Amino acid sequence: MLKAHVAASLIVFAITAALAAAGAPGGSVPSFYDLKTSYLDGKPADLSVFRGKVTLVVNVASKCGFTPQYEGLEKLHAELSGKGFAVLGFPSNDFGQQEPGTPQEIAQFCKLTYGVTFPMFSKVVTKAGADQSPVYKLLGSSGHLPGWNFSKYVIGKDGRILAFFPSEVTPESAELRGAIMKALAAN
């Protein structure tokens, strides 16, 4: 447990250091909330609507061993949404082709199987390359890109990346919840 806490702290420190360096004179790091994308139904999505909230960005997939995390993500969203928090789901077929469905199939699966009410966005490419989503290009500026489905980024009220957690860290984990609560308590 201590080892995991130290590792999570090092990740937060590394992200903070990278953002500070990138924000030095001559460089700038845009806010996550400056981005535009689209919702799962194809309608435009301006992420600025989440400015002032803490968000948890997750690359999701319907046919993955980590897919049951949808249940914990939905509980987290329901528990904290009234306190200025939202889970944001970004389906991706990058790992093991575990999100092959159409937007309608993904939406139906999430709603019927896990009762998902948090915002879901259009399928994205998380891996670096010409087709990488601008969302994940920005998230990758933290020095971390998903290694598999259900990787998680805690985004602060100002749109800065505060922490990264790999797939194995569940929505119920003390480390993830601690990072979220710390972000919610910040001004």
Q: What is the dihedral of CA 53, 92, 63, 169, to 10 degrees?
A: -50
Tokens of 176: 């993830």
* Residue 52 and residue 152 in contact, taking contact as beta carbons nearer than 8 Å: no
* Residue 174 and residue 75 in contact, taking contact as beta carbons nearer than 8 Å: no
Instruction: Name the residues annotated as catalytic.
Output: 64
Alpha helices (H) in 23-133, listed in sequence order: 69-80, 103-114
Backbone angles phi, psi at 53, to 5 degrees: -110, 160
Q: What single letter denotes the amino acid at residue 106?
A: I
Tokens of 98: 């575990």
Of the candidates 164, 160, 162, the residue with the CA atom closest to the CA atom of residue 58: 164
